[in-house]
Structure 1
């Protein structure tokens, strides 16, 4: 097995796209031939080795049956031209289409459904998954919870749990004395920054700042909330940034209030940076990273007062912050790209070897 094709909607900024870029850069150095097939045109937001082949369609994608047909023809032609040993489709939106194409071309295909495994889908999407996913040669699940749900739904029998790899983090300095809370994520409802601002207001500690890193459709609404609460001087919005680590170095606490995850890359990176972390135990992946009271605080969903109590405890206790940092940095070894890539390539080789 030497030639791997990744399928993704695009290479614009996102957790799935970051994972593909990290794995591609590592695997190309290990002697694999890597192609990334983007179904939608767009800029590449990540630094990817020039030896990795990027393939884009010659049309602008939009919803509708006509564009599905165009995408099908594009993927069919590309599969034939690339002749990969195996295809890895990283998009629940395009997974069924990729599976259908692979059946015609005779290529082996692994799919990865990256969303929250408990997310409710439309009847049509549920039916499409039930019909197509068992026809794939295997599935990559990001968490044990996802694997259990996929098995229960009979999506496939060949399922492997492979968490997301960490990007290289070079920071070696612990700063538990920094009086700043960091959160990272798109400014959308599911990331729940609104509640974090409320929590920060309720604790009312003027020595501390809150940095909200990321951009999104809720930015203006969240800024208005900050103004209404009189927090203009202590809540800072970064907007879209490319260097998240330059913001993490300002803080000592990472607070995550996300309501839904597939696998929380931002939390994993923050713990490994390291920052002392606290998060809601949402579906899925957070409990794969945080062991409550050992390397962070894991708060039951909806327990606003408990979250506030634990966040205030972290803010008041520098030695506790340092302890969580010392444990959280161990994630660097557990989720390093070498380990994750080895698990992936072993799974691919096993799958290719199966009749």
Structure 2
């Protein structure tokens, strides 16, 4: 086992509802279990709060006691934001000075990376992360900010080798890859006989629920004994419910609300749907694979094909945004139980390579390499 370290993980908010924050708490717990002293740091309070539990085995704290402005114009706004960031960076520097030799700072989000870049990280290993595909970053302001704030760090980690290669081709020389760990241990495995298609998603534009509803409107009526269940909440819920009604679907049956009982949701289904416009290395697909559920997913990121070997293991991959293709993929699995079983069982075997121990071993090997 590696020597214990002080590890600081810096995110936008420690108690935000979202996959990134779940990842941050998961790896904090895993690092702590290896004997490390972990501090999980948020830049600001959450916008949409989630309770990640009490009595956590690692320290959590937030740099600012109020939400910070993201955008603005004029000299006054720039000076105000710089002053706020300076306050947060000073506090970060104080925390970092507590570290023993071998300490590590991980900027888990690019906005949080601005605060890390402004802090004093002398003597510490510094790591920046992009928890999305290269293409998703490239189409947003995060691309230029990653170039600015991550190039001076020891390494910039993408979620897949393909994304790391894309960053390298774009001119970054300090890139590598680190996948997410699979934290889910199924309690009840599905029989794959339940006539239910399920997805657990935040109800926002990037998650593509609108396209899933369009696909279901094409194929659902042909299978009146099958149901679509969407678990989740988010800013687009009312608009999506209205869309479902306009498509002739029963929104009261489809939308199941937010759930913390992933086991109940997945074990009562036979197919998982991932209609996202953007993803990184989707934990949702990993969870479905752990349950032996075949997934129909849009090919929206290299992480999709890293997990799903199309029609071989894990499910069916559809060209990004191809709604009729999503409908066809769902229909194929709905018609063919043997196909569901074959793809589900192969996916269950494949996803084991992302076990928590194997991923933390990779992290520890990376820490040792960067420390040399």
After TM superposition, is the score higher than 0.5?
A: yes
Contact 1:210 1:234 (C-alpha < 8 Å) held by counterparts: no
TM-score w.r.t. length of structure 2 = 0.87
Contact 1:86/1:352 (8 A) holds in 2: no
Q: CA deviation at 1:256?
A: 1.1
State the alpha-carbon separation in 1 of the partners of residues 148 and 322 from structure 2.
39
Cα displacement string for residues 42-92 of structure 1 (whole angstroms, at most 9, x for unaligned residues): 456324763311122253131233322222222122222345711111011
Give SS of 1:338's match.
Answer: helix
Q: Tell me the alpha carbon deviations over residues 186-205 of structure 1, each in whole angstroms, 9 at most, x when there is no partner.
A: 11111111111121121111
Partner of 2:61: 55
Q: Is the alpha carbon distance of 1:228 and 1:152 closer, same or farther for their aligned partners in structure 2, counting shifts above 3 Å?
A: same
What residue is the counterpart of 1:215 in the other structure?
A: 233
Structure 1 range deviating more: 62-71 or 344-353 = 62-71
* CA contact 1:25–1:48 (8 Å) conserved in 2: no
Q: Are residues 253 and 126 of structure 1, via their aligned partners in 2, closer, same or farther at CA, if it must alter by over 3 Å?
A: closer
In 1, Cα distance between the equivalents of 2:326 and 2:234?
Answer: 24
Query: What's the counterpart of residue 32 of structure 2?
Result: 28
Q: Partner of 2:241: helix, strand, or coil?
A: helix
Q: Cα–Cα, structure 1 residues 101 and 196, in superposed 2: closer, same or farther, change >3 Å?
A: same
**Which of 7, 18, 21 lines up with 2:22 in the alignment?**
18
The offset of 1:124, in angstroms, is 7.1
Q: In the alignment, which residue of structure 2 is the partner of 1:287?
A: 305
| Separation in structure 2 between the aligned mates of residue 300 and residue 318 of structure 1, nearest angstrom | 23
Q: Structure 1 residues 258-267 or 297-306, which shifts more?
A: 297-306
**Are the counterparts in 2 of residues 281 and 287 from structure 1 also a CA contact under 8 Å?**
yes
Task: From 189, 196, 204, give the equivalent of 2:205.
Answer: 189
Matched, 1:6 2:13: no
- 2:336 pairs with 1:317: yes
Q: Distance in 1 between the 2:156 and 2:318 partners?
A: 30
Cα displacement (A) at 1:206: 0.7
Alignment of 1:203-282 (within 5 A): 203=219, 204=221, 205-232=223-250, 235-282=253-300
Please say if residues 105 and 126 of structure 2, whose CA atoms lie closer than 8 Å, have aligned partners that are also in contact: yes
Checking the alignment, whether the CA contact within 8 Å between 1:21 and 1:48 is kept in structure 2 is no
CA contact (8 A) 2:184 2:290 kept: no
Pick which of 115-124 and 172-181 moved more: 115-124
Distance 1:339 1:213 in 2: 30
* 2:98 alignment partner, SS class: helix
Summarize the Cα distance change of 1:27–1:127 in structure 2 as closer, same or farther, 3 Å threshold.
closer
40, 44, 68: which one aligns with 2:44: 40
Q: 1:301 to 1:20 in 2, by over 3 A?
A: same
1-structure distance, mates of 2:216, 2:140 = 40
Aligned partners of 2:55, 2:193: CA distance in 1, in Å? 38
- Secondary structure class of the residue paired with 2:83: helix
For 1:280, what is the secondary structure of its paired residue? strand
User: Counterparts of 1:97 and 1:139 in 2: how far apart (Å)?
Assistant: 16
Q: How many residues align?
A: 351
1:121, distance to aligned residue in structure 2 (A):
5.5
Give, in whole Å, the separation in 2 of the partners of 1:122 and 1:279.
21
CA contact (8 A) 2:188 2:263 kept: no
- Kindly tell me: are residues 123 and 5 of structure 1, through their superposed partners in 2, closer, same or farther at Cα, counting changes over 3 Å? closer
2:171 is aligned to 154
- Partner of residue 337 from structure 1, selected from 356, 361, 368: 356
Q: Is 1:327 matched up with 2:346?
A: yes
Q: Deviations over 1:225-284 (max 9, x none)?
A: 222233217842122222222211221000111111122111121121221111111124
Q: How far off its partner does 1:37 sit?
A: 1.4
Aligned to 2:192: 176
Q: 1:100 aligns with which of 107, 118, 142?
A: 118
CA 123–245 in structure 1, closer or farther in 2 if over 3 Å, else same: closer
- Counterpart-to-counterpart distance in 1, 2:54 and 2:106: 17
2:39 touches 2:58 (CA, 8 Å); kept in 1? yes
Does structure 1 retain, via aligned residues, the 8 Å contact 2:203–2:237?
yes
* Greater displacement, 212-221 / 27-36: 27-36
